[in-house]
Amino acid sequence: MLRDKGDNHTSENDIIEILLRLPVKALLRFKCVCKTWNALIRNSNFVTKQLNHHSNNARLLIQYHNYCTEKFAFALILNEILTKEPLLSHDLDFQHMRCDSGVIGPLNGILGLWNWNRIALWNPATKEFRFLSIPHSNLPPHFRACSYYFGFGLDLTTNDCKLIWIRDFWDNKIDTLYDPRVVSVYTLGSDSWRVFEVDLYGSIQDSLGNTYMNGFYYWLTNEKYDKILIILSFDIGNEVFREIKMPPDMAKSKWGDLSMYNDSLAMFIYDPNEVEKYIDIWLMTVEECWMKELTIGPLLDVERPLGFWKNGELFLELETGESVLYNPNTGETKDLRHRGKDDCLKVLIYKESLVSIKEGNDF
């Protein structure tokens, strides 16, 4: 670690401040300069400062469909201000999971990836990739997993990363869905899984990006018969589920998507069958207290919202699969030049991070 002694105090602080402004790729190279710099850059305090430094700007990470390979891919938008032309992007080198997969996150620069037989963590900035062991339930062999749902967040009591995996199982002998659900929680620091069963309400829906906030993860669920929507929260520290109230006057004929807007849980409410869509945007200011932010529309040729960007701008997926940035104040849209297919399109807010997924608890 650098020492702050005598005349070296200012120069050493200046070195640290300079290093904090550098991209992760450069910092990884500078670890080889000397043992002191290597220890500094690996230090957990430096890792945290780099992640939260004002020079570490948020970028867009888009999961899209590559029509040449017929597989999903990732692109990092290099522009810090999306209104500038031309819009530059960089395809990330990603060959670890070749079939169609789901993605969750990012959390402190880390993404969770999954398909039907593998789960992994990935840091695109450091290029660290880590397959996780698959937890086994105690169910008989004639039970098969038929659907997966994931959450990703921090245990604030230990400052450790946890991945939540909810599985539905089908009983082939009696041809029916097994109830309760099987929940597996992976803890990065101990590289271990805890598996338990719990009764959960209705059908769980994927969130837009990562709906983690202040030690809780949130999913949207709907009752299988009357389609009433409910929000399910998970206390990551205590590993306990609970239900919280929806925005008021939620019509059964409408649909919703959960997202994050600044430091608030947000919900898009709209009718997916409308030709001209109107989207109501609600924010949860405190738990179970909702405030309607605005209504946008009518929107033509829009399939669904994808999340928020800066200054209240929205990401939208068009019926053609194209991704666009929409300004509700001006009504203008900007083509993000990446297309989806079969709901694979995701727009994630990403910041580079030195957080290691191979050295345990570095969060």
Query: Which tens digit of pLDDT belongs to each residue from 310-359?
Result: 888 999 999 998 899 999 988 888 888 888 877 788 889 989 999 998 75
Confidence (pLDDT) at 310: 84
| Between 152 and 73, the higher pLDDT residue | 152
Q: How does 346-361 read in b/e, with b if 16+ C-beta sit within 10 Å? A: bbbbbbbbbbbbeeeb
Instruction: Categorize the per-residue pLDDT at 9 as very low, low, confident or very high, splitting at 50, 70 and 90.
Output: low
Confidence (pLDDT) at 4: 47
Tens digit of each residue's pLDDT (9 = 90 or more) over 285-324: 887 789 999 999 899 999 999 999 888 899 999 999 889 9
Tens digit of each residue's pLDDT (9 = 90 or more) over 22-35: 999 999 998 888 88
DSSP-derived 3-state class of residue 349: strand
Q: Average pLDDT in the 37-59 region? A: 90
Please check the confidence at residue 5 and state whether its pLDDT lies above 60.
no
| Contact (CB, 8 A) for 354 and 105 | no
Residue type, 117: N
Tens digit of each residue's pLDDT (9 = 90 or more) over 257-284: 899 988 899 999 988 888 899 999 999 9
Q: How does 227-266 read in b/e, with b if 16+ C-beta sit within 10 Å? A: eebbbbbbebeebebeeeebbeebeeebbbbbbbbeebbb
Confidence (pLDDT) at 362: 41
